[in-house]
Chains A and B, each alone.
Chain A
């Protein structure tokens, strides 16, 4: 079992390099993934992750003991991303390449349906408008509380809650439409095989 988050914050504030390595180990994937979700490509997301940690080392003295390290890092990452967009004005499209699952895809035949269903869900998330997609990513994929999502995005927790509700509504709508369509197709194919 690793250090508790509270104790890790304490050690970070002491300037303990071992605690810094732990901060990297625990959260670099989350930071990178969030930057990809915001629209950075793989190389740019890696660079921005490095920038995020460089800023974190500079600001470690401002870290509060009650702070959630993940939301603190993601707030820095978001600011780094927005700064990059302002200065470099790149073409960014949120989550266009985030539909594919990590890894090699489904293994046994039995996993195929689950695989397809997750790809479908990922497609549905990517189809959400940017603010909703980011809210879903922070709340569900990154595991932040509504209040923490609000802190990262700079909006009240109540706004986050309503965005979550809207996002879930849209996702359900889209998935149910797809399922209905697939159901009709499957029934059609079955009928064609066994007329």
Chain B
């Protein structure tokens, strides 16, 4: 018997089935949502670590003194006095595990505000550098991707298209996911644009609500967080001074819209090496920037955007693959059912938010649909040439 035939027959074999009542018995054992804390997915604990004791003893008294009500334009000394103990306590931890919900869509940058998006969960495990020269470690999971830096190399994996990228550098901005850095950022906000809406310390928790004015983006509509009028609320534990929560809202057309919120924070001494082991499927497709001919090296972002759409329109897979490091995206772009049919407009590149690359506005017809969006391009690759990074 041929091996293939034997394997086919083995695949067809089914193991014995249980009695019909088993599924109902198992269903009965499912905990209901009210019992979440007992089943491991509930609100995370905030462990008290010995190394924090000294800080807590020193600062706890100050935080307990009284309920302060600072309302009105932010006063730098008072704001600093409220926030400093939180920073001192929070930055002493070695690592954190965060769960954050953010408004957006798959494939979008963290600071991009997509009011049409939905609240998407982000899980982040961050180990802060322990000494000079230590780059730290990070693992960030969003619904559409996992980005992991194990101290040596970064791997980004997209489960939806089973595609991964690898590069020898930290691909995660640790400060984006480090609670002490958030509070430090708030402490350093320029005071003319900041107003303290409320400040309350009661029932073991402190709460501070700040309002910030957005940067002027006229004539364009704001797209990134910094362009919106916004409010930020932080919440902290009055005993430990550890940050417990952070919420941000943006104002659009007079409406307040939740942009991000911390679901939970675990403060930890360290993370296990296991956390930074990313097991990828055997059949994963590795993407990356290919060695290109000289003519590609001199292309600017606008030319690359135009060249990418044009090559896709012609079904020129080889050319598309030179400009797009994602094998799945190349497949999609040159597929005759998806490929662009007409390039209507390619705009001037611009930089925005925390994004390391540039955005190129475009208006392109794909079959009967006209897409008007911003193509994301970046050039932080070994060849320093502009390549596709998202936005279709």
Contacts and interface: CB of A to CB of B under 8 A. Distances in A.
A187 B160 CA distance: 56
B19 A15 contact: no
Nearest to B42: A15
A116 B39 CA distance: 47
Nearest to B5: A172
B58 interface: no
Contacts of A13: 41, 121, 123
A84 interface: no
User: What is the interface of chain A mostly: helix, strand, loop, or mixed?
Assistant: helix
A127 B146 CA distance: 43
B18 A168 contact: no
Given A60-B39, A147-B281, A10 B26 contact: no
A157 B282 CA distance: 10
Interface residues of B, number: 43
A59 B12 CA distance: 32
B41 A141 contact: no
Contacts of A175: 1, 6
A6 B41 CA distance: 17
A121 interface: yes
A182 to B, nearest CB: 13
A17 B35 CA distance: 11
A21 B30 contact: yes
Contacts of A168: 3, 6-7
A58 B39 contact: yes
Contact of A66 (B9, B29, B36, B157): B157
B138 to A, nearest CB: 15
B29 A37 contact: no
Nearest to A137: B15
Contact of A28 (B11, B18, B31, B39): B18
B330 to A, nearest CB: 22
Interface string B112-143: 00000000010100000000000000000101
Interface stretch (A43-51, A75-83, A85-93, A105-113): A43-51
A59 B40 contact: yes
Nearest to A29: B17
A69 interface: no
A121 B278 CA distance: 37
B304 to A, nearest CB: 31
B32 interface: yes
B282 A65 contact: no
For A24, A25, A175, which residue has the most chain B Cβ atoms within 10 angstroms?
A: A24
B13 A65 contact: no
A102 B29 contact: no
A33 B40 CA distance: 27
Contacts of A25: 23
B348 interface: no
Nearest to A164: B7
Given A25-B23, A46-B19, A53-B29, A65 B14 contact: no
A48 to B, nearest CB: 11
A185 interface: no
Interface string B153-187: 00001011000000000000000000000000000
A151 B23 contact: no
Interface in A20-78: 20-21, 24-25, 28-30, 32-34, 36-37, 42, 45-46, 49-50, 53-54, 57-62, 65-66
A33 B19 CA distance: 11
Contacts of B157: 66
B143 A66 contact: no
A121 B121 CA distance: 47
Contacts of A10: 121, 143
B221 interface: no
A50 B25 contact: yes
Given A15-B36, A118-B9, A172-B6, A54 B29 contact: yes
Contacts of B123: 13, 65
B36 to A, nearest CB: 5
A81 B141 CA distance: 32
Nearest to A65: B141
A148 B13 CA distance: 19
B3 A50 contact: no
16 contacts: A14-B41, A15-B41, A20-B31, A24-B23, A42-B18, A46-B18, A53-B29, A65-B146, A66-B146, A66-B278, A122-B13, A140-B10, A141-B13, A171-B10, A175-B1, A175-B6
Interface of B: 1, 3, 6-7, 9-19, 22-23, 25-27, 29-33, 36, 39-42, 121, 123, 141, 143, 146, 157, 159-160, 278-282
Interface of A: 6, 10, 13-17, 20-21, 24-25, 28-30, 32-34, 36-37, 42, 45-46, 49-50, 53-54, 57-62, 65-66, 98, 102, 117-118, 121-122, 125, 136-137, 140-143, 145-147, 151, 157, 168, 171-172, 175-176, 179
* In the A-B complex, the 4 residue pairs with the closest CB atoms: A33-B15, A140-B10, A61-B40, A15-B41
